[in-house]
Amino acid sequence: MKNGSYFIPREQLQGFMNPAAMNNQEGLTIYWQTDPAIARRVLPPPLELVTPDQPLVYAYAVNIREPTFAPWYMEAGLGLLCRYGETTGIYFLNIQLSGPGAPMGLCSGREFSGLPKKLCERILVERTDTWAHALVESKGRRIFEIEAELGAYNDPLMAQFYKDVGPGCRQQGSCLLFKYEAGGGPEGQTTFPRMCLVNYDSANDYQSWEPGSIAALRMEPSLDDPWAELTVVKPLGVGYSILSNPVFGVSTLAEFEGEEADKLFSYLFSGRWDRSTICSGHQRYGQFL
């Protein structure tokens, strides 16, 4: 095999993340209502819930078959529908990745856009006729598992969200994310003196969309990946789709400095880091059961 080099001529790098798109991804989009007190507790204070009394959780689990920047990989995410000023979008609490392209998917998403991505052991997305099933396993725990029956939504609200979605439809949207700079405090602690709230601008170009209902949804508690915190108060429904997801750019919505910025890290930590980074006892051999 030909060996690479740690020096690549600049003219050969013009195609770096150009374009950036997650093409031909297949799997589930999931919505449910969660507890308002929980949603408010985990949402960073600059952001507001779109429906404070009935906060909406957005989740997905997909096989990204043709990313432009990596081999195929699996991805699953968990977020809340929120707004900042006039910009409405999804605030992602965490995104998990597995498969051959997962390291490049993680690095590109975290470094360029501030996406709260982690690697996990396994993500499964499968379908048989009108039944679909997906799961996410991280550090030996099944932090998310869903069984869905295709045909009709659990709640009519889903039909309003996706009334115009179908083959050939482009659905443009925003993700509201935080990027941060690290510093140091007087006692050697890591601080975060500057944060930026950014708008991750992308679209879903649909090849297909099929409505479905949540038949069962389970989330195992986890110290490092607490998806189970977003309890299911009311299931709304799912969509099974094939789509491509081009990224148009990342723009700054707001900047925070000093203590205001540093306090935001309490909301960002668990989506990006494990507790082994803040405790002295952290051994794991094989699966942690």
| Distance, CA of 49 to CA of 226 (rounded, Å) | 20
**What per-residue confidence (pLDDT) applies to 195?**
97
CATH C-level class of 18-168+202-247: mainly beta
- pTM recorded for the entire structure: 0.96
Answer yes or no: are the C-beta atoms of 289 and 282 closer than 8 Å.
no
* Mean pLDDT, each 10-residue run in order, the chain (289 residues): 95 94 97 98 97 98 97 98 97 98 96 96 98 97 98 96 94 96 90 97 97 98 98 98 96 97 97 93 67
Q: How far is CA 25 from the centre of its chain?
A: 14
| Amino acid at residue number 123 | I
**What per-residue confidence (pLDDT) applies to 94?**
98
> Which tokens in the block code for residue 56?
């909406």
**What per-residue confidence (pLDDT) applies to 284?**
74
**What per-residue confidence (pLDDT) applies to 286?**
63
| Amino acid at residue number 31 | Y
**What per-residue confidence (pLDDT) applies to 288?**
47
